[in-house]
Amino acid sequence: MSNRGTFGTSSPQKDIPAWVLNHPDNPPTKPSAWDDEFDGKRLHSKWTKVGSGTLIWTVSNSLLRLEQAAVNERGKGIEQPCPTGNWKIRTKCFFNGPALNYNGIGLLVKNAVNGRYDLYTMMHHSTWGYFAPLIIHTTAIDTYSSETNANQWYMNMQWYLELEYDGTNFNFRHSADGVNYYTIYTYAQASFLAGVPTHFGVCTHHYGLPMDVSWEYFRRVA
């Protein structure tokens, strides 16, 4: 075998379907300064961990994993300063174990001037038996102020999520395949954040029950 996945003298990519070469999970050829494929041995220094409580952060096998104990904490995550102006970020995330009541995972934005966060999450509700897109509004990462429910329901435990800031609104999107994104909620930046976003990142949210989740990557795509 002369090349990875090929035999003899054939071209290394000759028989590889285009959809494999262009799969959305493949790392970008020109990553942005904000991107992280979580393929090192520790969390990159660009990130700051936020949230209190018993947390175990692990970077291994090209995944960022967070294990949280059963304590009465709420938001957790990692954040980095975001660019000025408009932007669009994506992540692929999933639950490693059972999703317990009010366990959620997603993307965060922060206004460092007033300390407020919007947590764009896919959250499980055991009564419903589904996951619902919820925007959790917090005056600090591990407190709770209010929420906005998109009133949509999903069964899967793995998501491609996208959050776009257009200068006025946050557009929260979901995708099943990482290619075709569907807008599940548009929320005005001024409604709660009350100022331009200064940071973005990934997050969880829970109400005192343990959870075990992972992110495959974080990318700025626009």
Residue 8 domain-assigned? no
Domain count, the chain: 1
Single pTM value for the model:
0.90
Residue 15, in any domain of the structure: no
What is the distance between the alpha carbons of residues 34 and 81, in angstroms, rounded to a whole number? 9
Domain span including residue 175: 37-220
CATH number at residue 89: 2.60.120.200
Indicate the Cα dihedral angle 134, 56, 59, 206, nearest 10°.
-10
Reported as type and span, the H/E element at residue 19 is helix 18-21
Asked whether residue 155 is domain-assigned, the answer is: yes
3-class SS of residue 192: helix
DSSP code for 36: B
Is 105 in contact with 121 (CB distance < 8 Å)?
yes
Per-residue pLDDT tens listing for the chain (222 residues) = 333 343 344 455 567 887 777 889 999 999 999 999 999 999 999 999 998 877 899 999 999 999 988 776 788 999 999 999 999 999 999 999 878 888 999 999 999 999 999 999 999 877 667 888 889 999 998 888 888 888 787 878 899 999 999 999 999 999 999 999 999 999 999 999 999 999 999 999 888 888 999 999 999 999
Residue at 158 is within a domain: yes
Sheet holding 211-220, edge to edge: 55-60, 63-68, 211-220, 87-95, 158-165, 169-175, 182-188
